[in-house]
Amino acid sequence: MSQYSLNLIFIGLSFALYIGIAIWARAGSTSEFYAANRSVGPVMNGMATAADWMSAASFISMAGLIAFTGYDNSTYLMGWTGGYVLLALLLAPYLRKFGKFTVPEFIGERFYSRTARIIAVVCLLIISITYVIGQMTGVGVTFSRYLEVSNSTGLWIGAALVFVYAVLGGMKGITYTQVAQYLVLIVAYTIPAVFIALNLTGHVLPQTGLFGSLNGGGEKFLTTLDRVVTDLGFTSYTGHHKSTLDMVLFTLALMIGTAGLPHVIIRFFTVPRVADARKSAGWALVFIALLYTVAPAVGSMSRFNLTTTMWPGAATGETFSQPAVSLEDIENSDQLGWMRNWQVTGLLNWEDKNGDGLIQHYNDAATDGPAAEMAASQGLQGNELTTVNNDIMVLANPEIANLPGWVIAIVAAGGLAAALSTAAGLLLAISGAVSHDLVKGAFNPNISEKGELLAARISMAVSILVATLLGLNPPGFAAQTVALAFGLAASSIFPVLMMGIFSKRINQQGAIWGMVAGIVSTLIYVFIYKGWFFIAGTNMLEDNAANWLFGISPASFGVIGAIINFGVAYLVSNATEEPPVEVQELVESIRVPQGASGATAMH
């Protein structure tokens, strides 16, 4: 059976499963649409939360980021998992006890202000739209590669599928669909990793294979990888090269950004009891760890496979004594068919700059070492593997390792499951913000439940259309600022939730000005250093460490924005009147533990 047929079967079966669940779990009330009628158990909710969280960025991009940077990008693993510890301890049980449907609704009622609720909606929309564009774009890329359709056709297919199970089912349908999507994506991620770990190290578990030895030799796998990449002029894989301060701030930004992401938080509104919210966060961390502990192995092994493909003698220390891969081999070899397949997508490309018929992959910026000596002696004109997009490493890894066709097909299904599960969660957060917080909360408080449900479905459909159109023609900044959503959540949503739960003194003026100061300062910093301001066609400041304020990267600034938010809220609150007594009593009741383990929340 052809690879295309296998891809079609596996993707088609997964889509049939998602649509079947959507029809079975159709939402019939606002409670089912927004919070699955608060009937989801902690284990199932933990699994759905994991799928909601592990987007195309986790499934497709994270291992690629680790593959090309190594140790320094372990911050993604620490930050993204650490955020769930904060959620479990500081936010989830208290927000569940408050018993509302959306994050802006909590902020509006806790700070007794429609303005605070609307500002929270604006923050939520900016965060969620930034995220969802990336998910829809990932759907298009995956479809274009595996189903051999155009990127735009793939996007519309993905949008149609999300429309069916998200608009029909709401949170109820999305929850059960995400459970199925988690099972698909974790199997799709783990099976290729097991195959590759066995091939390279003889270990069944990729986690232990990462620290094992290469088959046929006594040298540790990571030691070999370090030698291979440094011979080619790249920095050592296991070395630490970034600013420690920036790494700490970036990890914290990811942690508090994760804890402040609205589409993650609303998952904890679906459980029956307050105690289940904390259990859900714990189970989510377990299910996420099943993938996140495999990701370092996938990243390092894919980097090794790519390098030894380009230089067949690299693994044995004969990198430059054996010729690099030839154009003839790339064009004719079945083993290198993956390079031809991915060149079509534009995510992988090469150029024979010196016309010798070989494609030399090395760091042409290196001034000493074997790579520089080789380049000088052979008169090379630069690295000839001109494009290797981080996003291809997980999807292409099974092909690079020459694994069976069914493994490649299940990876395709897993990549789509990861992108679609998160897209659905984000779209639900957007829909709830528009229909529940704007339509009902701000403009039409007397709307009937049937009318609100219709508004929720219409806003969901419009959101899917907008996300698809932006995915077809993504604005330049969307691709450049993967961490922008985390910085915005860290600087706007997380601080106001923390202060709303743990401080009776923070009032509506403090919350409003704190959110505004946090999000505006973060946006300004990111915009400047990402080159989105132009003077006479020139970027104001180039995005590099030499220009960053105190060496703080734009992706790490969310922590500073959060500090600004906390500081402004505290100063403004202490300069103005205290919150009303009933609001202070409300804050106290949210934190009181008695009965929390068994009591159901207010409705």
**582 located within any domain:** no
Q: How far does CA 344 lie from the centroid of its chain?
A: 25
Which pLDDT value is given to residue 545?
63
Pairing of strands 534-535, 538-539: antiparallel
> How many independent structural domains does the chain possess?
2
Q: Report the share of the chain in percent with pLDDT over 70.
A: 93
Take residue 127 and report the two structure tokens written for it.
Answer: 């965060």
178 and 317 fall within a common domain: no
**Strand-pair partners of 388:** 348
240 and 255 fall within a common domain: yes
382 and 411 fall within a common domain: no
Q: State which residues of the chain have pLDDT below 70.
A: 216-217, 474-483, 530-546, 592-603
Residue corresponding to tokens 């599928």: 161
* Nearest Cα residue to 409 out of 188, 173, 186, 96: 188
120 and 263 fall within a common domain: yes
Which pLDDT value is given to residue 481?
44
Amino acid at 321: S
251 and 212 fall within a common domain: yes
Which pLDDT value is given to residue 596?
42
Task: Dump strand ranges (E) for 464-602.
Answer: 534-535, 538-539
**495 located within any domain:** no
**Strand-pair partners of 534:** 539
CB contact at 8 A, 512 and 499: no
CB contact at 8 A, 366 and 233: yes
358 and 389 fall within a common domain: yes
**176 located within any domain:** yes
Take residue 432 and report the two structure tokens written for it.
Answer: 């709830």
DSSP state of 333: -
278 and 308 fall within a common domain: no
Render pLDDT for 198-224 as a digit per residue (tens, 0 to 9).
989 999 999 999 999 988 667 899 999
CB contact at 8 A, 544 and 148: no
CATH of the domain at 137: 1.10.4160
Element of type H or E holding 388: strand 387-388
44 and 189 fall within a common domain: yes
Dist. CA 202–CA 514, nearest whole Å: 54
DSSP state of 443: I
Cα-Cα-Cα-Cα dihedral sign, residues 417, 139, 484, 572: negative
CB contact at 8 A, 134 and 429: no
Which pLDDT value is given to residue 594?
44
Which pLDDT value is given to residue 577?
95
For residue 603, give Cα distances in angstroms to 94, 97, 467, 494, 501: 14, 10, 32, 23, 18
Range of 359's domain? 302-397
Dist. CA 520–CA 514, nearest whole Å: 10
User: CB count, 10 Å around CB of 245?
Assistant: 12
User: What letters, b where the CB count within 10 A reaches 16 and e where it falls short, cover 455-467?
Assistant: bbbebbbebbebb
Those residues with Cβ within 8 angstroms of residue 589's Cβ, 6 or more apart along the chain or in another chain? none
Which pLDDT value is given to residue 600?
41
**585 located within any domain:** no
Dist. CA 137–CA 472, nearest whole Å: 7
366 and 420 fall within a common domain: no
Which pLDDT value is given to residue 113?
92
User: CB count, 10 Å around CB of 186?
Assistant: 23
Which pLDDT value is given to residue 533?
42
Those residues with Cβ within 8 angstroms of residue 523's Cβ, 6 or more apart along the chain or in another chain? 488
131 and 60 fall within a common domain: yes
The whole model's pTM is what?
A: 0.82
Amino acid at 172: K
Q: Return the ∠ at Cα 148 (arms to 180 and 61), rounded to 5°.
A: 55
Which pLDDT value is given to residue 442?
78
User: CB count, 10 Å around CB of 211?
Assistant: 13
Amino acid at 392: I
